[in-house]
Amino acid sequence: MDISSAQKLAWENKLVKGFNTTDVSLEFGLLTAEVGEAFTAWRKGLPDLGEELADVFLYLAALAEMNGLDLDSEVARKIEKNGRRTYERNEHGAQIRTSGD
């Protein structure tokens, strides 16, 4: 499944089930909670890590839809942009961008 199709299906599910479709700040809060659940699943070695990461994606897709964004195009553009960037480690070991926009 491609990102655009998943975004549309996630949105349709929210509409059909009567979930939040207007409160962007609430959706960011719910996304944050889902990231926490995914982290807990990973940290504890729980078998539902994949499901929790899928929840993160679905909330992210809903946020994109709420804001009129095509997440598929945004991800493709960002991957291309990241590919042009270069990094070097500074004296503290942190990666510092040295080129790219």
Give the CATH number, domain containing residue 50: 1.10.287.1080
Once rounded to an integer, what is the mean pLDDT over residues 61-77? Answer: 97
Q: How many folded domains does the chain comprise? A: 1
At 101 the pLDDT is: 75
At 9 the pLDDT is: 97
Gap between the Cα atoms of 84 and 74, Å rounded: 16
At 43 the pLDDT is: 98
Helix, strand, or coil (residue 3)? helix
Query: What pLDDT digit, counting tens, does each position of 7-56 carry?
Result: 999 999 999 999 999 999 999 999 999 999 999 999 999 999 999 999 99
Domain of residue 77 covers 3-99
Query: What pLDDT digit, counting tens, does each position of 76-101 carry?
Result: 999 999 999 999 999 999 999 999 77
At 34 the pLDDT is: 98
Helix, strand, or coil (residue 13)? helix
